[in-house]
Every structure is written in structure tokens, then in C-alpha cells.
Amino acid sequence: MPGIQEEEAIGKAYDARLMRRLLRYAAPYRKHLVVCVILLFVITLTDLAQPYLTKIAIDDHINALGAPMLAFSPGQEPFPGVAIRGMVFVREKWLPKSFPRHDGEGDPTSGCPARIEFADGRYFLVMGDPSSESEAATRDELTPEEVRAFKARDAAGVLKLALALLGAMILGFVLNYAQVYILQYTGQKIIFNMRVEIFRHLQELSLSFFDKNPVGRLVTRVTNDTEALNEMYTSVLVNLFKDLFLLVGIIVVMLRMNLELALVSLSTVPIIIGVTVLFRAKAREAYRLVRTRLARINATLAENISGMRIIQIFGRERKKYEEFDSINRDYLAANMRELQVYAIFRPAMDLVSSLALALLVWYGGGRVLAGRLEFGVLYAFINYVQQFFRPIEDLTDKYNIMQSAMAASERIFMLLDTDAREPDPAKPASLGRPRGSIEFQNVWFAYNGEDWVLKDVSFKVEPGETCAFVGATGAGKTSIISLIGRMYEISRGRILIDGVDIRDIPRRELRRYIGVVQQDVFLFTGDIESNIRLNNTEISESDVQEAARHVNADAFIRRLPGGYRAEVKERGVTLSAGQRQLLAFARALAFDPAILVLDEATANIDTETEALIQDALARLVRGRTTLVVAHRLSTIQNADKIVVIHKGRVREIGTHQELLAKRGIYYQLYLLQYKEELSRAAAVGIGGRQQGDS
């Protein structure tokens, strides 16, 4: 189908139309996602709190011994402080900004300025404001006990902040665990539902769709592409909120802490924007090239592995190796180009981050040395700048994930939008169990356009009759039996079962009464019993065994390890062709069809197994309308009716003897096969005599 291709055009890294459709899949889990966003908001607050708590510990306690204080008479202090020498000392930064500062008029409620100085290895208490002319400052040495009193209060404050910091970390850990679990759970549920929808859609598509689309691509849609979307849901979509919260939160906190330092820290943002825009353009171009080259390498691998028998038979290994090597080198070059883009972006962001830190240390460090900025503020800014660049540095990974997700969603929605289904009738006719009358009335059919495979085909099969179809390869025999079960829709004409147009019968009801045995038997991974009844609970274990006995499969099944529970591997590789065919007969019989279709069912069967099948066929077809596509005419000589198809048209209809008497196409086919069998018999005889002579 158009559009279901590996080498599709790579769209945008973000496509609003696709995103709206993707968000619809998340709609049933909106509560989970809202909870995740709320948790991320709280987690962001804990991340922002950690540098700020450290800043308070540094400025208010660790480096605060020499901070300005106010001395109050006992009982006059507005805030708990350190009591020594008959006074209570309270640091000014502990007081609210609205508290009246000392005005030099001797108001006892405003406190007397004081501070601690360190000189010559000793601590001194300075009372009064040295810069004030209205009062004289005093300077007395503090005893070790008095120094410990001040430090004890700071130590208690550091302990409280350390516990608060630990609490923030633990809270962040717990919330992050909950958020990751809920988000991963939600992502898995979304992708589970999407896979189910894709698989259900695939089941409803007509066989013509599968004729035009390689199985590998469809498997990729259900597995790899949905996994790319899962990564987007869990790693990008919700986490974008965290990045947004973090960036906005950091900017707000820095602006509130110190406007000048915030502007210095954010001065590199224009550089970040420029580098990011350039990266997006280069990354998209590199990604497109990688996807195109990857599609080529996948197609080449699939083709060469599938055709390995022909390659080895004709000795083309070297040539095919050279072709693959050339394509592989192109793919390597594309990957290296993409690697260069990503390898430049992250170091570029590291360089910009280092530049921002250098500016911060230069400007902030100078202000700290000048006494115009507290060291804790500079420390907090350094932490915030590092946090600020973290989501920007992760942009490379997120951008790659978004590109993959958008490309994957484009392919998935192309598949889901493919309308290759033939709808059931609006007013379905009830068929019930049919008697088995089948009639083709002027049927035309083409797989593509007007490249007709069947042309004006008409015939009728009465209930209980066995009708065989013969003709050269490509005549249209298999197409006829495919149309009966509505595997494909006819282009013109009508097909009737018991006088009812099959287009008026729901597919499920129609196919319920049609049993098909093909030349290439497909067995599923499981056991013998599940492959006979195809997990249909209406078919009991005794029904399975009875069907196997009727087609002479019971004997070989019981010889298998485990009997009917014997393991069947993929496509039944551990069973012989004859055994697989017998299981196919048992499967058809277990479903008790009214119409039985045998599509060259004995073409690849050894003589002994064919004898077993022929013995069972007489019982199998009794009371059923049977349609047989046969390559060997010897297997259909007893058919009630033989339809000869030649170049898509019905040329002859009759019994074996009637058609031979006409000396037409059937007669020529019969003579041709008879001569081939004589030639093979003669060749076998000559080989046997030569072996005997030797």
C-alpha cells in the first residue's frame, strides 16, 4: 500500500496533528498523568529547595559568627537569641524587615548594635556602631564559653537545616519513585492498547493488503514503532513538564535572591538558543539520512537472507557481499554524520555552561570579596546554574526520541488509516448451516486494477458434489476458491451459496462453514491439540481425537512424545510434510464444515501418506460439498464435476470420462501428465538396473 514504506519522508520532530492523535490514546489515563505532573511539580520544589537550604546554612550559621547583631535587655528581645553578660544578642537577619533598627536615640526596644570580630586568634565583642558619631563603640574579648554559646546556636541551626535537607532528598526520592512507577505503568498500558488496536485492525484487513506489504514491516509497526512511542510517553512527554517547572523555578528563585547575579547567570541564554536552533536543523537532516540508509540495509538483508538458496546455487556470494558492503558503508557514513552533530552539541552546551559558571564566579566572587554578597548566595547560584543546564544538555536525547516517535506515529497512523477492509452488509442475510450449493455467475476478478485473473466465470456445484478445478499454473484455480470465503472481493458478477449472494453474508458466519486445507500448511507454536482446534473451546478434546482418527493422523500423533500435548515449534518444522498435511485435514474436520476446500492438499505428499489421506477423504467429503484444486489429475478422476480453467476462463466442464471424450484441454493435460509419469517411471527403472549391474 502506498505509504506503508520504510523510506518514508521524515517529518518534523514535533507535529501537532500527530501529537493530538497520540494524546487521545493517553486520554483514558489522564488522571494518572495529572498525578505524575503534580508529583513532578513537588519533586521540582524539593530540587530547588536543596541549594536554598544549603545557602541558608552557610550564610545564617556557618559563616554568620561575625554577622551584625542587636543587643537587648532581657525580656525585650523580639526573637530568641544568645544570652551573655546580662544581654540577649539577636542577629539582625533573623529579624523581620519591618522591625525598627537602632536609631542611636537609646530606644531599648530597637536594640544596641553589636558584632563579633576575630583577630590574632581571639574573638572580640564589639558593642555600638563605630560609624556613628553619637555613641562610642566598646571592644571586649569573649571567653571560650561565650564563643561556644554563639556557635552552639549555629550548630543547632545547621543540624535543623541538615535534617530539612535530608527530608527534602528523601521526599524527592519517594515521590520520584512513585512518579516513575505511575508513568511507566501508564506508558505500558497506552502502548498495550495501541498494539491491540493495530493487531485488531490488521485482522480486519483484506488479504490483498498483505499481498502488497511485507510481513517484516507490519511486525515492525506492532513492535518497534510502538516501543518508540512508549519511550516518548515515558521519557519525554511528561518529563517536559519537569524541565519546564525546573527552568522557570530556577529563574524565579535566582531573580528573587539577587537580580544582578541572575542577569549575569542568564546572559548566556541567547547563545543557548542559537546553538539549539542550529542543532535542530542539522540533527533533522542527519536523522533523515540515517533512516533512509537503514531502510536500504534492512531491505537488502531481507532480500538476501530470503534468497540465500539461489545466491549459493549460482555462486553469487561475493557479488552480494560487495553490494551489502557498499550499502553498509553508506549506513556507517550516515551514522557517523549524525554522531558528529550530537558530539558537537553536548560539548557546546558544556562550554556555554562553563562560560556561565565562569562569569558567575568572576562577578559573584568579586562581590563576595568586596563584602557586598554573601558566600551562600554565590554557592546557591552555582548549583542553580548547573541545574539549569541539565535539561538543556539532555535535549539531544529528547530530540532524538521525539523524531523517532513522530516518524513511528506517522507510520502507525498510516497503517490504521488504511481502509483495506471490505465492510459486512448493512442488512446481513442469515445463512445458517448451508446445504452446500455454490454458483458463480459471470464473475470477474483482478488483484490489481483491470489485470483480470478471472474473466466471466460461471459454473454451479450442487450440494454434496465434489468439484475439481484443473488448469495450467496461473490459470486462476486458487483465485476461485479464495473468492468463496471472501478472502478477496469480486469485481463483477455474483457468487451464491444456497442462492444467497455471499456479499450479503457476514464474513464470520460465512467462513464458519468453510474448511480449507492448503498445500502449504501453517502450524502455530503450541501443541498438537491446539493446532487442530485452534483454541476453539467449542471443540472438545474427544472431538479433536475423533477428527484425527478419521484422517488417519491419530497413529503418528500418539507416537510423538506427549501425544496430543506434543510440542509444535514455529510452522511445525519438527514434523514431516505428510504429518503437517494430516494435521490440516484433522483441523478442517474438527470444525465440521459444510463446504470443504482442498487446495492442492496432496501435491507434496509421499505415496504412503497419500494413501492414508485418500482413505480418509472418502469419509471426509461424505455429506459435504467439496472443491478440489489438483495438480495431479489422477487424484480427481472420481470427482462429480471437473472445471477446466484456462487463462482465467472456464473452458470445459464435465466428468473425467466426459472430458477425455471431448479431446480438448483436459485431454491434452491428461496426456501430458501420463507421458511425464511414464518418463519418470522409465528413469527410475534405468537407475535401478544400473545400480544392480554395479
Q: What is the pLDDT of residues 649-666, one digit of tens each?
A: 999 999 999 999 999 999
Q: Report if residue 682 sits inside a domain.
A: no
pLDDT band at 8 (very low <50, low <70, confident <90, very high): very low
Q: Report if residue 295 sits inside a domain.
A: no
Q: What is the pLDDT of residue 3?
A: 39
What CATH number does the domain containing 237 carry?
1.20.1560.10
Cell numbers of 84, please?
A: 551573655
Per-residue model confidence as pLDDT tens digits over 191-202: 999 999 999 888
Do residues 565 and 600 share a domain? no
Comparing 278-282, 335-339, 450-454, 626-630, the range with the smallest average pLDDT is 278-282
Do residues 447 and 588 share a domain? no
The range of the structural domain enclosing residue 544 comes to: 521-592
pLDDT at 172 over 90: yes
Per-residue model confidence as pLDDT tens digits over 576-635: 888 888 888 888 888 888 999 988 766 656 666 667 777 777 777 778 899 998 877 877
Mean pLDDT of 111-140: 78
pLDDT band at 421 (very low <50, low <70, confident <90, very high): low
Q: What is the pLDDT of residue 384?
A: 94
The secondary structure of residue 120, as a DSSP letter, is: T
Residue that terminates a domain, selected from 257, 282, 300:
257
Asked whether the beta carbons of 272 and 349 are under 8 A apart, the reply is yes
Q: What is the pLDDT of residue 402?
A: 84
Cell numbers of 496, please?
A: 451464491
Residue that terminates a domain, selected from 241, 257, 273:
257
Do residues 162 and 91 share a domain? yes
Q: What is the pLDDT of residue 233?
A: 87
Q: How far apart are CA 48 and CA 55, in angstroms?
A: 11
Q: Report if residue 559 sits inside a domain.
A: yes
Q: How far apart are CA 627 and CA 661, in angstroms?
A: 23
Per-residue model confidence as pLDDT tens digits over 482-525: 899 888 888 899 999 999 999 888 888 888 889 888 877 888 88
pLDDT band at 469 (very low <50, low <70, confident <90, very high): very high
Half-sphere exposure of 372 (CA within 13 A, CB side): 9
Residue that terminates a domain, selected from 231, 257, 283:
257
Q: How far apart are CA 64 and CA 115, in angstroms?
A: 10
The secondary structure of residue 99, as a DSSP letter, is: S
Q: Report if residue 625 sits inside a domain.
A: yes
The rounded percent of the chain whose pLDDT value lies above 70 is 90
pLDDT at 189 over 90: yes
pLDDT at 176 over 50: yes
Cell numbers of 675, please?
A: 507421458
Cell numbers of 351, please?
A: 562550554
State the chain's mean pLDDT as an integer. 84
Place of cell 512527554: 237
Do residues 536 and 652 share a domain? no
Mean pLDDT of 454-459: 94
* Of residues 508, 480, 497, 498, the one with CA closest to residue 599: 480
* Of residues 512, 496, 490, the one with CA closest to residue 438: 496
Return the HEC string of 585-636. Answer: HHHHHHCCCCEEEEECCCCCCCHHHHHHHHHHHHHHCCCCEEEEECCCHHHC
Q: Which residue type does 205 have?
A: L
Q: Report if residue 390 sits inside a domain.
A: no
pLDDT band at 437 (very low <50, low <70, confident <90, very high): very high
Do residues 120 and 240 share a domain? yes
Q: Report if residue 4 sits inside a domain.
A: no
Asked whether the beta carbons of 444 and 491 are under 8 A apart, the reply is yes
Q: Which residue has the higher pLDDT, 314 or 646?
A: 646
Do residues 221 and 144 share a domain? yes
* Of residues 119, 129, 101, 56, the one with CA closest to residue 374: 56
Q: What is the pLDDT of residue 81?
A: 86
Do residues 532 and 573 share a domain? yes
* Of residues 517, 521, 499, the one with CA closest to residue 627: 517
Q: Report if residue 335 sits inside a domain.
A: no
Q: How far is CA 123 from CA 59, 137, 150, 189, 312, in A?
A: 19, 16, 11, 66, 93
Do residues 163 and 90 share a domain? yes
Comparing 325-329, 341-345, 642-646, the range with the smallest average pLDDT is 341-345
Is the alpha carbon torsion for 136, 137, 143, 148 positive or negative?
Answer: positive
pLDDT at 292 over 70: yes
Q: Compute and round to an integer the Cα radius of gyration of the chain.
A: 42
Mean pLDDT of 75-101: 82
Mean pLDDT of 176-186: 93
String of DSSP letters for 482-545? HHHTTSS--SEEEEEETTEEGGGS-HHHHHHTEEEEESS----SEEHHHHHHTT-TTS-HHHHH
Relative orientation angle of helices 395-416 and 144-204, to the nearest 10 degrees: 20
Cell numbers of 426, please?
A: 448493512
The secondary structure of residue 430, as a DSSP letter, is: P
**Overall number of domains in the chain:** 3
Is the alpha carbon torsion for 67, 70, 74, 79 positive or negative?
Answer: negative
Mean pLDDT of 3-23: 63
Asked whether the beta carbons of 504 and 679 are under 8 A apart, the reply is no
Asked whether the beta carbons of 61 and 161 are under 8 A apart, the reply is yes
pLDDT band at 291 (very low <50, low <70, confident <90, very high): confident
Do residues 116 and 132 share a domain? yes
Q: How far apart are CA 527 and CA 533, in angstroms?
A: 11
pTM of the model: 0.72
Do residues 40 and 86 share a domain? yes
Q: What is the pLDDT of residue 422?
A: 67
What CATH number does the domain containing 567 carry?
3.40.50.300
Q: Report if residue 36 sits inside a domain.
A: yes
Q: How far apart are CA 259 and CA 80, in angstroms?
A: 31
Per-residue model confidence as pLDDT tens digits over 210-253: 777 777 777 878 888 888 888 888 888 888 888 889 999 999 99
Place of cell 537577619: 93
Residues in the chain: 694
Q: What is the pLDDT of residue 493?
A: 94
Do residues 483 and 616 share a domain? yes
pLDDT at 12 over 70: no
Q: How far is CA 398 from CA 19, 190, 231, 336, in A?
A: 15, 20, 10, 19
Q: How far apart are CA 218 and CA 634, in angstroms?
A: 41
Distance of CA 69 to the CA centre of its chain: 63
Do residues 232 and 130 share a domain? yes
Q: How far is CA 186 from CA 282, 360, 564, in A?
A: 33, 41, 41
pLDDT band at 171 (very low <50, low <70, confident <90, very high): very high
pLDDT at 7 over 50: no
Q: How far is CA 163 from CA 54, 94, 153, 253, 537, in A?
A: 11, 20, 16, 22, 63
Kindly report the backbone phi and psi dihedral angles of residue 453, in degrees, each rounded to the nearest multiple of 5, phi listed first. -95, -40
